Amino acid sequence: MPSLPIVNSESSDIEINLLLEAIYQKYGYDFRQYSEAHIRRRLTNRLMLSGLSSISEIQHNVLHDPVFASQLLQDLSITVTEMFRDPPFYKYIRENVIPILKTYSFIKIWHAGCSTGEEVYSMAILLKEEGLYERSTIYATDFNEFALDKAREGIYAAEIMKEYTSNYQQAGGKKSFSDYFIADYDMAIMDQSLKKRVVWANHNLVTDSVFAEMNMILCRNVLIYFNRDLQNRVQKLFFDSLTNGGILALGSKESLRFSTLEDHYQELDKKYRVFKKKY
């Protein structure tokens, strides 16, 4: 077993801060208020893979080698996702939030931090089955352009679709999941109609601002990477983007407790972390 580079001294904390500052100044990506433990873990992995010996060396490479820099940005962004992740959550949305959305003539939904799109296709399927898709617009945003490209393509490994089929069924799916994609050898190509109402866009939650008024915002498993202050700031962005009575859905371990706006929401469900902006 190769031994881990030692990234556990106070000086490495300083080096990490300097590196994040350098990335921000040079490329405009702001990781300075991300979870330190998460950043440290990702950088340690990169050190091991690259054969570099210190964070300062990473900093040197980031500043002088655009390919390395782009690689590192990928390292710092966790894009792991699933279709119908937490199936009972989608079941809850289907049974309890869809009836609220049905009262609107046009529905705008924002997936903030949509990664490679699985969550977006899940929502599109759900809206179709509930007869709301044609009057909906889904804004799907992420700051990771590679992830967005994959999302736009909508092509996934056929093998993983088996797992998603079970998620889909547990989520209360009404049809056969295979109706929503074409299997082509080891790939599954999502049905083109599922993209029709989707607007894909690059948006950075830390540095970009409100871009439309939404009836529902889903931001799941993104805020866990942000520290308290940053969460509070991003929650302000969501609050300003939601219509009165709009729905906010967070990841299964996330909450509004670090947001000064918590009192302006009604908690619709404790377990599934779904909130409604008060009128």
Under the rule (CB under 8 A), what is the footprint of other proteins?
Answer: 1, 4, 6-8, 13, 35-38, 40-41, 44, 78, 80-81, 87, 221, 223-225, 228, 252-255, 258
Q: Which is nearer to other proteins, 30 or 86 (CB)?
A: 86
At residue 244, φ and ψ (nearest 5 deg) are: -60, 135
Among 22, 7, 21, smallest CA distance to 55 is for: 7
Considering CB distances under 5 to 8 angstroms, the limit depending on partner class, which of ligand SAM, other proteins, none binds residue 246?
A: none
The least distance separating other proteins from the CB of residue 88, rounded to whole angstroms, comes to 9
- CB atoms under 10 Å from CB of 56, counted, come to 15
Burial of 203 (0-12, 13-18, 19+ CB in 10 A): buried
Q: For the chain, what is the radius of gyration of the CA atoms?
A: 20
Q: Which is nearer to other proteins, 94 or 220 (CB)?
A: 220
Locus of tokens 């990841």: 251
The least distance separating ligand SAM from the CB of residue 2, rounded to whole angstroms, comes to 28
Considering CB distances under 5 to 8 angstroms, the limit depending on partner class, which of ligand SAM, other proteins, none binds residue 4?
A: other proteins
At residue 186, φ and ψ (nearest 5 deg) are: -95, 15
Q: Which is nearer to other proteins, 71 or 255 (CB)?
A: 255
Footprint of ligand SAM on this chain (CB under 6 A)?
Answer: 77-82, 85, 113-115, 119, 142-144, 147, 204-206, 220-222, 251
Q: Which is nearer to other proteins, 124 or 171 (CB)?
A: 171
Cα(89)–Cα(271) distance, rounded to whole angstroms?
9
The least distance separating other proteins from the CB of residue 170, rounded to whole angstroms, comes to 8
CB 194 within 8 A of CB 124: yes
Q: Which is nearer to other proteins, 36 or 208 (CB)?
A: 36
